[in-house]
A and B are shown apart, each in its own frame.
Chain A
């Protein structure tokens, strides 16, 4: 009896622990403000065809945002950028031309679009790629299709911290020394992302 309860408790812990909502390594979150919309993050390492992928992304033949994971500290950073992008898309007020470029733009602490796409999008020499997919009533996501396009190893989002280039991130977001005392790097990043249009 006790073993049963223990077993149930273990299963319950696994199912509710946010870390383990990474079914099959990718990470999905349903946007609260847009309940028909869900965001999926897939992380790849040892990527060999970054240049080809980038070309496909620019042509619009990949239905997702291709992001440089070295600039990402936590999936929350992506969720904040995506939530804002979907919001602006729905009211027709995006600053860029597509939902996917808007997500990438929202990651930037400033309002320079081409700079954002260059710094946060992938470059030809990148060996790691983070793909963000959006699914809503109008569009379903072909996860396996996207995965097959990448010549690389799919890894769990829990590996992200190994790929993050903290020094580069700090330089990009320009956190002040006083700020580092009152919060985490992620806090500073999120604040800049969400309030950059008030500055």
Chain B
């Protein structure tokens, strides 16, 4: 996520939490860490984008915040690990969530295992865990919308592969295999571009997805179709 320039972001004050630290400045929102109501928490503050018309801005931010909160609840109800929501502030479009203290992103974990040259069999297990979690998520008709390995966390110790999904700002509800296929396609592109030589890993992920999800075959079919559609792909003939 590229930083969007201090301009509009600088006008929105950070939440007054104890021990506040800015963790990440994204294109859409700023992530802070701090203590909230006696617990380690993360505050995700969506800030206004000045190039947007104010009416649209208000609605869009509000909608993304709502969708995120709703998706997190749906995930948990389905047994998919996602942060607990502590408080949703619809005025400043800020969500206060559980902080997974000491977590590692799946992205960092894969990179470090590959770089260390250690045994990669754990990576295959991780791929299966991801496939399984996504299958359960899609079976709930929940589309993440922004699947990347940076949006997946591992609770400490990382080797135990206790997966937590995060960042549901672009999520929505849909039963369509097309939407689920696209969700997987987004992950595939992100996965293969961020982590070189991981084709087999991703294949293992998809395999586990297919065996876990009850509605997987139309989804995989759509995934194949979408792959053919992608950028720089000729749709001729």
A interface with B by C-beta (< 8 Å): 18, 29, 31-33, 35, 76, 79-80, 83-84, 87, 91, 176-179, 181-183, 187-188, 190-192, 194-195, 197-199
Contacts and interface: CB of A to CB of B under 8 A. Distances in A.
A83 B16 contact: no
Given A181-B79, A191-B72, A80 B16 contact: no
A195 B69 contact: yes
Interface string B83-127: 011111101000000100000000000000000000000000000
B190 interface: no
Contacts of B37: 29, 31-32, 76, 79-80, 83
22 contacts: A31-B37, A32-B18, A33-B89, A35-B16, A80-B37, A80-B87, A83-B87, A87-B87, A87-B89, A177-B79, A179-B76, A183-B84, A188-B76, A191-B73, A191-B85, A194-B86, A194-B87, A195-B73, A195-B88, A198-B66, A198-B69, A199-B70
Interface centre among A18, A32, A177, A187 (most CB of B within 10 A): A32
Contacts of A176: 77-79
Contact of B76 (A32, A177, A182): A182
B195 interface: no
Contact of A182 (B38, B39, B70, B80): B80
* 5 closest Cβ pairs, A-B complex: A178-B79, A198-B70, A195-B73, A79-B37, A194-B85
Interface in B20-49: 34-39
B145 interface: no
B76 A183 contact: yes
Contacts of A181: 79
B81 interface: yes
A95 to B, nearest CB: 13
Given A35-B16, A195-B72, A29 B38 contact: yes
Contact of B87 (A84, A183, A199): A84
Contacts of A191: 72-73, 76, 84-85
A145 B35 CA distance: 32
Contacts of B80: 182
A29 B89 CA distance: 20
B36 A192 contact: no
A83 B37 CA distance: 8
A7 B36 CA distance: 31
Contacts of B72: 191, 195
Contacts of A76: 37-39
Interface string B1-28: 0000000000000011110000000000
Given A32-B17, A176-B79, A190-B86, 15 more contacts: A29-B37, A33-B15, A33-B16, A76-B38, A176-B77, A176-B78, A178-B77, A179-B76, A181-B79, A182-B80, A187-B76, A190-B85, A191-B84, A191-B85, A195-B85
Of the candidates B69, B77, B84, the one having the most CB atoms from chain A within 10 angstroms of its own CB is B84
A16 B222 CA distance: 56
A18 B38 contact: yes
Contact of A194 (B18, B66, B69): B69
Nearest to A90: B91
A189 to B, nearest CB: 10
Nearest to B73: A195
Nearest to A178: B79
A190 B97 CA distance: 10
A56 B98 CA distance: 37
A35 B15 CA distance: 12
B220 to A, nearest CB: 24
Contacts of A32: 15-18, 34-37
